[in-house]
Amino acid sequence: MTKFEELGLQDSLLRAIQDMGFETPSEVQEKAIPILLSEETDIVALAQTGTGKTAAFGFPLIQKINADSRTTQGLILSPTRELCLQIANELKNYAKYENINVVAIYGGASITDQAKQVKKGAQIVVATPGRMQDMINRQMVDISKIEYCVLDEADEMLNMGFYEDITSILSHTPNDKSTWLFSATMPKEVATIAKEFMYNPKEITVGSRNSGSDSVQHEYYAVSGRDRYLALKRLADANPDIFSVVFCRTKRDTQSVAEKLIEDGYNAAALHGDLSQNQRDLVMKSFRTRQIQMLVATDVAARGIDVDDVTHVINYQLPDEIETYTHRSGRTGRAGKTGVSMVIITKSEMRKIKSIERKIQKKFEQKSIPTGMEICEIQLFHLANKIHNTESNNQVEDYLPKIMEIFEDTSKEELIKRMVSVEFNRFYNYYKNKRDLNQPKDSSEEQSSRRGSNEHSTRYFINVGSKDGYDWMRLKDFLKETLSLGRDDVYKVDVKESFSFFNTDTDKKSLVLAHFTDFKVDGRFVNVEESTNTGGSGGGKRRKDGGRKRRTKDRDTNNDNSRRRNRRSEPAEASNGRKKRRSEGGERFRGRSRRK
Ligand code: ADP
Ligand code: MG
């Protein structure tokens, strides 16, 4: 394995690298750094998000800057304010043992302050194209002597319509500079830039480390257009400790979805270009510290944001450009974690899924929006586990005798029942009569599934799950063997962490239920009950194809996340206060309490 020492970096940078804890260079760094250090050349480097592109251009840039001169020698253009700041901060870290000034210039903050900083002598300027153009026009910055120009996230800058700004900015730079273009994807606009503004560029392409790799699972949910928001809520409710970025297409949708979520009691916030810099910083801070669980964002605003541990990316609407989908899903499954990218679509958008699949070379799973009762069950067990895993607080000791008195006449069983009811009731009351949101494939199936859902197929709950070593295949095999059933008789197996669901045809119901009375595995009772959830696709709906197709989709995708979620949620949620009750029109739901 190559080491940083072998790339030709000077000692001061190697020390800084060590301080940052980077051990080995990433692929794009390994490929780009030696080239950029050893020759003056233009370069086009393609690598997915999260592969360490900042350091791939940042290290060589710092090394090449002449610290004794105050002239601006390096310009980095990047699409958003957040990224600008992120890059500038990284560069300052890299250059901590050098005497190099890095200044970030971006919209939404005082232009005179930024001009002052530049004037003090900024060898490196990191800028958004819009603000850069402004400052050039007002002669607040001089880039006529730069030697290096980096176009970071070039695809995104062009997506955002910065083509003209970029060409105009470049026209103020010397012809003999080197241009380094970094991008996750190579749409034709980027190729055009490379062709028109770069001279014989070297090309580097790096196999993905993150996006498009196996760390992200892709799922889609077909609903009718007017049910998008309800579907979003259900996806959130079915994943109690979700930590997600929700993508909308426009600022307006972003704002309104976030507002609705907040009204409905979720810890959500909007991130888009109409917010002030201050507001955006606050939102990002709350997201990083997990006070916000659902960040509703436009593509532009969320671009490049480097937050690990995002469990779900939710595409509230599909983007217009397929490339954008790659960026979105790259927000999860980072840093060795796994993640899920969910897409809410309408029937007419189905073909887009196909084109995305071709592009990313990955298959989507079609999944069903959980039914209300499935969500209630998930929440119930989530709660039970949470109570079970809560460390008791010694502070309550003093009050215990009095509290014991109150519950003197209550049995343990009754007590537990009431305890979980406190929380469960909210979900139950909200969801008890809610309809199925899933969009049937065609109307004949819709009819047959509606008519037949409760009679033909039965959904069960079983108290074993992934933590007992089951995945959907193992559980299905176990059920088939235990019940002596055929290979297509058990279907829609959905394994959660400590419990699971499955279906059989209703004519097998008495067999199934009878078999699991007093049934033990390894001395532990395995309990099967008819799931309260009988309606809808999550419940009884049996596809005409005998469930065969669907079963391939039943793989539990949440195991990893729920483990993470549980860990994260335990301490923080102990102090929850319940919150506001809502009663506006439409579907509504009293706020589920998130830590504030
Ligand atoms: P990209 O621009 O390709 O999306 P970034 O430059 O933002 O990726 O890097 C993503 C994360 O990886 C950052 O947190 C960065 O500090 C970290 N990183 C970069 N290079 C390395 C390395 N060689 N070893 C460990 N972490 C690294
Ligand atoms: Mg980057």
pLDDT tens track for 344-377: 998 888 888 888 887 787 888 888 899 888 888 8
**Percent of the chain clearing pLDDT 70 (strictly above):** 84
The Å distance, Cα 152 to ligand 2 centre, comes to 7
> How far apart are the two ends of the chain, measured CA to CA in Å?
45
Closest atom of ligand 1 to CA, residue 153: 2
The Å distance, Cα 322 to ligand 2 centre, comes to 19
Amino acid in the structure at residue 265: G
What span, in angstroms and rounded, lies between the C-alpha atoms of 271 and 481? Answer: 51
User: Of 74, 166, 86, which Cα lies nearest the Cα of 121?
Assistant: 74
- Band the pLDDT of 226: cuts 50, 70, 90: confident
**C-beta of 534 in contact with ligand 1 (< 6 A):** no
**C-beta of 306 in contact with ligand 1 (< 6 A):** yes
More confident residue, 210 or 417: 417
Which residues on neighbouring strands pair with residue 244, listed in sequence order? 294, 312
For domain 4-205, give the fold: Rossmann fold (3.40.50)
The Å distance, Cα 388 to ligand 1 centre, comes to 38
Parallel, antiparallel, or unpaired for β 202-205 and 43-46? parallel
User: Whose atoms come closest to the Cα of 51: which ligand?
Assistant: 1
Nearest CA to ligand 1 atom 18: 52
Averaged pLDDT for residues 335-352: 84
pLDDT tens track for 400-413: 888 888 888 888 88
More confident residue, 337 or 556: 337
What does the pLDDT read at residue 566?
34
- Whether the predicted pLDDT of 36 surpasses 90: yes
Look at the alpha carbons of 228, 230, 232, 234 in this order and tell me if their dihedral is positive or negative: negative
Nearest CA to ligand 1 atom 12: 52
Nearest CA to ligand 1 atom 5: 52
More confident residue, 491 or 58: 58
**C-beta of 52 in contact with ligand 1 (< 6 A):** yes
More confident residue, 293 or 432: 293
What span, in angstroms and rounded, lies between the C-alpha atoms of 491 and 481? Answer: 14
Nearest CA to ligand 1 atom 16: 52
User: Whose atoms come closest to the Cα of 335: which ligand?
Assistant: 1
- Whether the predicted pLDDT of 136 surpasses 70: yes
The Å distance, Cα 50 to ligand 1 centre, comes to 6
The Å distance, Cα 52 to ligand 1 centre, comes to 3
User: Of 353, 373, 360, which Cα lies nearest the Cα of 333?
Assistant: 360
Ligand 1 pocket: which of 1, 27, 54 to mutate (most atoms within 8 A of CB):
54
Closest atom of ligand 1 to CA, residue 51: 3
Lowest mean pLDDT among 7-11, 445-449, 486-490, 499-503: 445-449
- Band the pLDDT of 381: cuts 50, 70, 90: confident
Q: What is the chain's mean pLDDT, rounded?
A: 81
Residue 347 phi/psi, 5° resolution? -55, -35
pLDDT tens track for 241-262: 899 999 999 999 999 999 999 9
User: Whose atoms come closest to the Cα of 76: which ligand?
Assistant: 2
Do the beta carbons of residue 492 and residue 459 sit within 8 Å? yes
The Å distance, Cα 87 to ligand 2 centre, comes to 8
Query: Would 4-205 and 216-369 be classified into the same CATH topology?
Result: yes
Ligand 1 pocket: which of 26, 183, 204, 327 to mutate (most atoms within 8 A of CB):
26
Averaged pLDDT for residues 317-337: 82
User: Would you kindly state where each structural domain of the chain is located, as residue ranges?
Assistant: 4-205, 216-369, 373-431, 452-596
Averaged pLDDT for residues 273-284: 87
Lowest mean pLDDT among 108-112, 281-285, 386-390, 440-444: 440-444
**C-beta of 53 in contact with ligand 1 (< 6 A):** yes
Ligand 1 pocket: which of 31, 92, 204, 306 to mutate (most atoms within 8 A of CB):
306
User: Whose atoms come closest to the Cα of 49: which ligand?
Assistant: 1
What H or E segment, with its residue span, contains residue 205? strand 202-205
Count of C-beta atoms within a 10 Å radius of residue 424: 17
Nearest CA to ligand 1 atom 9: 52
More confident residue, 559 or 154: 154
**C-beta of 78 in contact with ligand 1 (< 6 A):** no
Averaged pLDDT for residues 208-225: 72
Closest atom of ligand 1 to CA, residue 20: 16
- Band the pLDDT of 31: cuts 50, 70, 90: very high
The Å distance, Cα 53 to ligand 2 centre, comes to 5
Ligand 1 pocket: which of 6, 9, 22, 90 to mutate (most atoms within 8 A of CB):
22
What does the pLDDT read at residue 147?
97
What span, in angstroms and rounded, lies between the C-alpha atoms of 126 and 444? Answer: 58
- Whether the predicted pLDDT of 270 surpasses 90: yes
Look-up: residue for tokens 């197929």?
Answer: 457
What does the pLDDT read at residue 335?
63
**C-beta of 25 in contact with ligand 1 (< 6 A):** yes
The Å distance, Cα 242 to ligand 2 centre, comes to 25
- Band the pLDDT of 477: cuts 50, 70, 90: confident
Look at the alpha carbons of 534, 237, 496, 246 in this order and tell me if their dihedral is positive or negative: positive
**C-beta of 54 in contact with ligand 1 (< 6 A):** yes
CATH class, domain 216-369, is alpha beta
User: Whose atoms come closest to the Cα of 3: which ligand?
Assistant: 1
Q: Who's near 402: CB < 8 A, 6+ residues apart?
A: none
**C-beta of 79 in contact with ligand 1 (< 6 A):** no
Lowest mean pLDDT among 1-5, 49-53, 295-299, 529-533: 529-533
- Band the pLDDT of 314: cuts 50, 70, 90: very high
- Whether the predicted pLDDT of 442 surpasses 50: no
Closest atom of ligand 1 to CA, residue 152: 2
**C-beta of 478 in contact with ligand 1 (< 6 A):** no
What does the pLDDT read at residue 510?
87
Lowest mean pLDDT among 38-47, 350-359, 438-447: 438-447
Nearest CA to ligand 1 atom 19: 52
Averaged pLDDT for residues 261-267: 90
Averaged pLDDT for residues 138-167: 92
Q: Which CATH number fits domain 452-596: 3.40.50.300, 3.30.70.330, 2.60.120.1140, 3.40.30.160?
A: 3.30.70.330
**C-beta of 50 in contact with ligand 1 (< 6 A):** yes
The Å distance, Cα 557 to ligand 2 centre, comes to 28
What span, in angstroms and rounded, lies between the C-alpha atoms of 11 and 131? Answer: 35
**C-beta of 55 in contact with ligand 1 (< 6 A):** yes
User: How far is residue 582 from each of residues 230, 261, 534, 588, measured CA to CA in Å?
Assistant: 16, 12, 28, 7
Give the 3-state secondary structure of residue 543: coil
- Band the pLDDT of 379: cuts 50, 70, 90: confident
- Whether the predicted pLDDT of 427 surpasses 90: no
Nearest CA to ligand 1 atom 20: 52
What span, in angstroms and rounded, lies between the C-alpha atoms of 17 and 24? Answer: 10
